[in-house]
Chains A and B, each alone.
Chain A
């Protein structure tokens, strides 16, 4: 069953002479419980697709369907209970003067949960941090721990879809392995659907079942990870990308 269906999506910034078309006619769909990757070089529009889905890009046309319902204009609260996003840089996505407890507590409060106290503890356990991190501030955490807090925050409303924008590119390889393992575990436990952006083909190969290769705002190829492993890319750009990352 299709969870996220994107048809002919265009996203642009500015207008008139300064108009930049960041995404041009992107079409793909992600089934419930699947993991879909978007790869390409910087400026190819992969993060912009995620931002358009969450409503962070104001100018877009085309159709985005979430679980069968068309998305338009301002997103409703119920939308954010289904879709959550994890950002690239854990050093800037957490409020420097809010403790971990405040970050998670506020999210839970905004989504109308009553048993905030027990839920905060549970969330911290789920992402492998434990209760002793509850009253710490972001500057007291390492990069990997911050990214775990950001993941806990995204999990707080019990979403069905997680949008991951380069979740490990700011981290060391050893920490990257821990976070990727955590994401794989959370996906099986909570039956999540992932839409993941990365410039690293091997990370996408590890996490996803299908992927789309983007160049200059357009999707040049959609393929299965199996084909990626066998180096069977058809478009010359994906072949080039594949050759550069092995």
Chain B
């Protein structure tokens, strides 16, 4: 079943030196699966995620043949209608919990607000629901956390709180923009397994944006590899290590490996042809 269908998405930023194309003609579909988007910084992966939620502000320009969520075209919606989509139907987890939680509101108030915004529930009901949600993301002593402010939390806890807050309205699609890159390796696995469990239990679609190839290969079902605003290759995550495109190969080979020591790491040689060839479609 297709949840989201994106066709020919462009994101442009006019500047003094002409128009800069951040995303150039990207097409993909998302079902009830875990879709990974990987690429270097500046390859347009985060912009793709933001464009789906129409979060790109002027002077940025977003054009697309369609971005349809279960048949409804998001491009045609007004700002007011978009507000019902954001959070309720598509949620986004941002990269750094330090900057995405409100520093002057307690965590409890923020989660309750997120829940009551989309559901008509009494305060005590919302409080109970928030506690359950914090339990679901394995936070110990949730009552204390509900009363705490974001600066009292560690990075890993902050990110789990963000996940709790984004999942409490029960959206159909979750967009996670580098959810674990600010975290330690040991905490990373923990946060990912929590996210994985919640996504599978609820049958959501997940778009997982990351620059970490190994992580994506382990965690996702299907992977899009982006370079200079275009999708250069689409492959199944378990076959990522047999990828064909020279860019993907270059990225994989440039990682140091514990099991295969070498004197010099392979350096990526960029071919100007890569940015000229049209985007590969990832629609099914």
Contacts and interface: CB of A to CB of B under 8 A. Distances in A.
Contacts of B41: 143, 172
B213 interface: yes
Given A205-B261, A206-B261, A180 B184 contact: no
A176 B155 CA distance: 24
Interface residues of A, number: 27
Given A172-B41, A199-B185, A244-B189, A229 B254 contact: no
Interface string A215-230: 0000000000000110
A177 interface: yes
B258 to A, nearest CB: 5
A181 interface: yes
B268 interface: yes
A23 B161 CA distance: 30
Interface size class of B (residues with CB under 8 A): 20 to 34
B266 to A, nearest CB: 7
A176 B258 contact: no
A132 B186 CA distance: 43
Contact of A202 (B213, B255, B264): B255
A236 to B, nearest CB: 12
A240 interface: yes
B153 to A, nearest CB: 14
A172 B261 CA distance: 20
A203 B185 contact: no
The interface centre, meaning the residue of B40, B255, B256 with most chain A CB atoms within 10 A of its CB, is B256
Interface of A: 41-42, 143, 172-178, 180-181, 184, 199-203, 205-206, 228-229, 240-241, 244-246
13 contacts: A41-B184, A41-B185, A42-B184, A172-B40, A173-B213, A174-B251, A181-B265, A199-B185, A202-B255, A202-B257, A203-B256, A206-B265, A246-B259
